[in-house]
């Protein structure tokens, strides 16, 4: 679905965004009938409150949306979106109450609130539509909203319709939309192309594993995005229990995130040479599944002892990262729904990331606040390197002990990037319960912050 602002119309309804502290002063300047109506309906300006005011002809002329207090807004994001979903059908224009910066963020939240995943069931469209607020970059906001919608739809689609061939098709469609080049290596050709761990993880599935390689742009700094595309994760021979397998359609959330970010980069015409690498596999159970205690040799030549076949994401990412690093791009970023340890550490709402580049960290942290896309820095703690070094191979894919799981996974990945600046995001990719602008289901994380920070990240 396409998310866009409404066109201006003669029946536009003015929308006043009122913080709680401003309601009393505003009421004092209103006609008695209006003040009585607002008070009778109990409008206080709290987040999520919405009220329509009719004119003499009974038709709505003005609407109020609560904007809460600085303290209540700090407890969440997209405060206006909480009211937008309660407004009746109509085209709304924000007439007062927000700065240009606030209006841009809240306008994005409004568009994201109108996202519906309707592939399998008819969904009721959001009634209230927003006219782009004055002063904002409406085209950019629409691009970002649609990049996020792409990510959500890819994650929400079940593995029956989002296996490796379907993920490839999504990437091909995106490449065609933006005039990008794309190559895909499938099945046994992965071995011939020296991508052995991608092949090993995906070989047990009926739908063949593959590496998707998309390129766009012919000038500017070089940026490579690597997204984990495990379209379903049974855990392999270390089979997950049913409760842990229920959300594994989202294990390609890293791939979905980088495709959403790629759309944002290409559609905004960012000054960058972009490469997107997605190892797309299913971790299935069959007679030729890779096994615990197998030793796999990676593209980089490092050997990996398999101590848990359910720690497969880092294996497919490792080959893709080694391939990315061979071109020595200015920046490599990997995104993956990689570890449960990251969720224990920061919960579902924060996107933990790893980077030792002060320029990258400063740019990302600033942008994350500016665009309401929260992140949290985690350490590449080098003393933990010994935890990923088993006795009989170079690396262990699942260190015992249970400590620092997201850090050891990130350290494992870092071993495959030696010549490029590298950052890794261990995202969740799922909204567990509906919140303003974020319906329950698949969700993008850190992509808007990365887009905003891109120029500063790539300017060394």
Point out the residues that are catalytic.
240, 314
Alpha helix ranges (H) inside 268-370: 313-325, 340-346, 358-370
396 pairs with which residues across the strands?
A: 305
Burial class (CB in 10 A: 0-12, 13-18, 19+), 59: exposed
> What does the H/E/C string look like for 235-264?
CCCCCCCHHHHCCHHHHHHHHHHHHHHHHH
What sign does the dihedral 201-203-205-211 (CA atoms) show? positive
d(CA 13, CA 54): 10
d(CA 266, CA 176): 12
d(CA 339, CA 346): 12
Distance of CA 99 to the CA centre of its chain: 26
The values of phi and psi at residue 128, to 5°, are -85, 130
Alpha helix ranges (H) inside 126-234: 138-156, 164-178, 189-192, 196-202
d(CA 253, CA 444): 8
Which among 85, 79, 86 is positioned nearest to 103, based on CA atoms? 79
Token duo for residue 178:
């933006």
d(CA 223, CA 368): 19
């Amino acid at each position: 679905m396409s998310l866009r602002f409404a066109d201006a119309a003669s029946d536009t309804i003015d929308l006043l965004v009122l913080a709680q502290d401003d309601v009393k002063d505003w009421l004092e300047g209103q006609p008695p009938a209006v003040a009585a109506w607002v008070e009778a309906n109990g409008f206080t300006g709290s987040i999520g409150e919405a009220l329509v005011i009719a004119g003499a002809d009974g038709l709505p002329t003005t609407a109020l949306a609560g904007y809460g207090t600085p303290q209540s807004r700090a407890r969440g994001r997209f405060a206006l979106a909480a009211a937008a979903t309660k407004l009746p059908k109509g085209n709304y224009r924000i007439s007062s109450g927000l700065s240009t910066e606030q209006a841009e963020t809240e306008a994005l939240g409004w568009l994201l609130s109108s996202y519906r995943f309707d592939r399998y069931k008819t969904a009721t469209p959001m009634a209230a539509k927003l006219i782009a607020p004055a002063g904002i970059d409406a085209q950019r906001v629409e691009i970002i909203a649609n990049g996020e919608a792409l990510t959500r739809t890819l994650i929400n689609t079940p593995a029956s319709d989002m296996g490796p061939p379907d993920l490839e098709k999504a990437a091909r469609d995106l490449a065609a939309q933006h005039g990008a080049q794309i190559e895909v290596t499938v099945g046994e050709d992965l071995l011939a192309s020296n991508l052995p761990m991608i092949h090993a993880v995906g070989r047990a599935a009926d739908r063949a594993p593959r590496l998707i390689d998309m390129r766009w742009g012919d000038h500017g700094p070089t940026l490579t995005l690597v997204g984990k595309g495990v379209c379903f994760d049974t855990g392999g021979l270390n089979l997950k229990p049913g409760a842990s397998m229920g959300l594994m359609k989202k294990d390609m959330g890293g791939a979905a995130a980088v495709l959403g970010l790629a759309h944002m980069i290409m559609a905004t015409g960012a000054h960058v040479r972009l490469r997107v690498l997605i190892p797309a596999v299913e971790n299935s159970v069959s007679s030729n599944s890779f096994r615990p205690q197998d030793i796999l040799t990676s593209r980089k030549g490092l050997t990996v002892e398999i101590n848990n076949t359910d720690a497969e994401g880092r294996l497919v990412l490792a080959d893709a990262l080694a391939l990315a690093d061979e071109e020595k791009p200015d920046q490599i970023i990997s995104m993956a729904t990689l570890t449960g340890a990251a969720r224990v550490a920061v919960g579902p709402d924060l996107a933990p990331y790893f980077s030792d580049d002060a320029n990258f960290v400063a740019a990302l942290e600033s942008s994350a606040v500016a665009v309401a896309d929260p992140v949290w820095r985690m350490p590449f703690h080098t003393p933990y390197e010994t935890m990923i070094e088993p006795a009989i191979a170079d690396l262990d894919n699942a260190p015992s002990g249970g400590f620092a799981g997201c850090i050891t996974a990130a350290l494992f990945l870092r071993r495959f990037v030696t010549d490029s600046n590298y950052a890794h995001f261990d995202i969740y990719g799922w909204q567990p319960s509906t919140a303003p602008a974020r319906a329950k289901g698949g969700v993008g994380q850190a992509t808007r912050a990365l887009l905003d920070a891109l120029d500063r990240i790539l300017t060394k």
